[in-house]
């Protein structure tokens, strides 16, 4: 049976939601065929946490590993998508009812995936409560993905980031999971190999 591929990355474009006060995405021509150049070449300017991206521990922890050092054997492998019907946040109670046995890479599909049609940032997105984040750490999860720009809340997301990143969990933010259903997949997540960076945009594909 032929496997199906799902691109769960958000396309980079100037008109996309970005975290307030963070740089977004810009692209402009550097040289063009129309102006007589031998080839089209563009200049891109973007923040390290724009669109679908991976957080490195260095994002919140001084002297911690950068994105280019993240292990590929965590970024690629078996994963499971859970679809949660929650309105505000993912709580400990929401996770305790899930079958997490043997699940090392988990992506959480929420109502967030419908927010990508809006150009403006939406502050009331679904995020993790600190107790839920600590629960995933205790369960030995190695990779966590969420379908908006932060695993933590807009008002106070620092503790959630620290819980994940200090434990070595790879964090993927900005996924678009609208095209996939709950179930098992193989994930391929390849952030740009930017030496010393605190994070980087990534192309993320699920295969089933």
Q: Among all residues, which ones are annotated catalytic?
A: 59
Sign of CA dihedral 27, 31, 33, 34: positive
The DSSP annotation for 156-194 comes to S-HHHHHHHHHTT-EEEES---TT--SEEEEEEEEE---
Cα 57 versus chain centre, distance:
14
Which secondary structure element, helix H or strand E, spans residue 29, and what is its range? Answer: strand 25-31
| Residues 143/165, Cβ–Cβ less than 8 Å | no
């Amino acid at each position: 049976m032929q496997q199906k591929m799902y691109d769960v990355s958000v396309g980079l474009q100037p008109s996309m939601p970005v975290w307030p006060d963070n740089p977004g995405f810009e692209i402009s021509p550097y040289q063009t065929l129309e102006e007589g150049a031998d080839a089209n070449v563009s200049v891109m300017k973007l923040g390290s946490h724009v669109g679908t991206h991976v957080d490195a521990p260095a994002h919140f922890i001084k002297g911690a590993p950068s994105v280019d050092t993240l292990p590929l054997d965590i970024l690629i492998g078996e994963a499971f998508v859970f679809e949660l019907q929650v309105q505000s946040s993912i709580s400990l109670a929401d996770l305790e009812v899930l079958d997490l046995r043997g699940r090392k890479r988990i992506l959480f599909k929420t109502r967030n995936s419908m927010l990508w049609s809006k150009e403006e940032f939406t502050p009331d997105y679904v995020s993790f409560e600190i107790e839920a984040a600590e629960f995933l750490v205790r369960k030995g999860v190695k990779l966590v993905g969420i379908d908006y720009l932060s695993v933590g809340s807009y008002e106070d997301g620092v503790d959630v980031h620290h819980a994940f990143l200090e434990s070595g969990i790879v964090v993927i933010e900005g996924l678009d999971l609208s095209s996939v259903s709950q179930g098992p997949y193989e994930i391929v997540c390849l952030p740009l190999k930017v030496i010393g960076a605190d994070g980087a945009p990534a192309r993320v594909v699920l295969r089933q």
